[in-house]
Amino acid sequence: MRYLALLIIVIPAIDIGVLLLSGKTIGFLPTIAFIILTGVVGAYLAKREGLQTIKRVQEQLSYGQIPGESLLDGICILIGATLLLTPGFITDLFGFLLLFPPTRKPFKFLMIKALRKRIEKGNIKIIK
């Protein structure tokens, strides 16, 4: 929880610094245009990837399979879309990384590793 609080403070501060530097370097209007462009492109990608993931989950459920991998994809897409809606270049970078399937894999690996660690510690109980 303390890491989350640190991220909530540090990431916006870095984003503000990068936005100010960008405004000073390329100008105010191009910076605003770039922020709007990444928001629009990000919303389109999030919708497309989200719909594909929902379709994959439905297919797996119809075949009686557990859609574990697809659910992790959905979590990554949700977080990525949220980051893209937040103005800033750093959050946009991580948002796009979470939206594209090839760059999403390391994040899913970290999520699985963290879940396994919590299960092994007994923080999460699996009920069968």
| pTM for the model | 0.82
Angle at which helix 89-99 crosses helix 28-62, to 10 degrees, equals 20
* pLDDT confidence of residue 12: 87
CA distance 91 to 107: 15
Angle at which helix 2-26 crosses helix 89-99, to 10 degrees, equals 110
Question: Which has the closest alpha carbon to 42: 76, 100, 84?
Answer: 84
Tell me the average confidence (pLDDT) per consecutive run of 10 residues in the chain, 128 residues long. 81 91 93 90 91 93 88 92 87 92 92 86 73
Q: Are the beta carbons of 77 and 107 closer than 8 angstroms?
A: no
* pLDDT confidence of residue 126: 67
